[in-house]
Amino acid sequence: DGGITQSPKYLFRKEGQNVTLSCEQNLNHDAMYWYRQDPGQGLRLIYYSQIVNDFQKGDIAEGYSVSREKKESFPLTVTSAQKNPTAFYLCASSIQQNYGYTFGSGTRLTVV
Amino acid sequence: DQQVKQNSPSLSVQEGRISILNCDYTNSMFDYFLWYKKYPAEGPTFLISISSIKDKNEDGRFTVFLNKSAKHLSLHIVPSQPGDSAVYFCAASAPNTDKLIFGTGTRLQVFP
């Protein structure tokens, strides 16, 4: 079955530590995205990538970094510079010029 | 600057009645609009979409209406069912971009 997998589902980290969230897709989609969901703020775009080895900042990229070394994978690193990292993180993918996103099931990150 | 707005954070509807979820946008360049449904701790799933060349699109119990002059779209669910209880996000896209801009979401509760 084709799909998009985020792992882990729940993640706890101490303040000041970097943490990397995994996102893998086997849909052969070119574009991948990272969104963050906070209560009352909807989904906000962190980073996106339209092709391998290329990515662009979204609306709230500060404190985050990404890589796109393979078409299937788009990991997100939440760095210690991110002031409010506790949130629900969603990864998505789409075919270029196709506006339907397929979302993963999300990772809830809690920083203590 | 919120380009896509869902001004009602929540909506409660009796089973069998119509649910109407509203969405407003400010960017006149948007030409494609989508609705996503999200259950807690899961990723959003695509529900229905509409191109700006249309004013209505229907899929079973779900109908989306677009009023370009008012920069307003709405999602009608009829008849509403308890399984429709979820958070609904509207999203919009401009030409030649893969990015979707999401609204803040409306939590729909359908009670018996």
Task: Identify the pLDDT of residue A58.
Answer: 93
B32: closest chain A residue by CA: A99
Question: Of B98, B99, B100, which has the smallest distance from its Cβ to A96's Cβ?
Answer: B98
Whether residue B49 and residue A99 make contact (CB cut-off 8 A), yes or no, is: yes
| Per-residue pLDDT reduced to its tens digit, B65-98 | 999 999 999 999 999 999 999 999 999 998 877 7
A56: closest chain B residue by CA: B99
Indicate whether A98 pLDDT > 60.
Answer: no
Average pLDDT over residues A36-45: 87
State the greatest distance between any 2 C-alpha atoms of chain B, in Å, as a whole number: 44
Using a CB–CB cut-off of 8 Å, the residues of A that contact B are: 4, 6, 9, 31, 33, 35, 40-45, 48, 50, 58, 88, 90, 92, 94, 96-97, 99-106, 108
Q: Nearest 5°: CA angle at B30, between B48 and A102?
A: 40
B8: closest chain A residue by CA: A40
Average pLDDT over residues A36-46: 88
> What do you get for the CA distance between the two ends of chain B, in Å?
38
How many whole angstroms separate alpha carbon A102 and alpha carbon A4? 7
Average pLDDT over residues A59-63: 94
B32 strand-pairing partners: B51, B93
| Per-residue pLDDT reduced to its tens digit, A1-18 | 679 999 999 999 998 899
Task: Identify the pLDDT of residue A39.
Answer: 80
The answer to whether the peptide bond before residue B79 is cis (omega within 30 degrees of 0) is: yes
3-state secondary structure of A26: coil
Average pLDDT over residues A62-86: 95
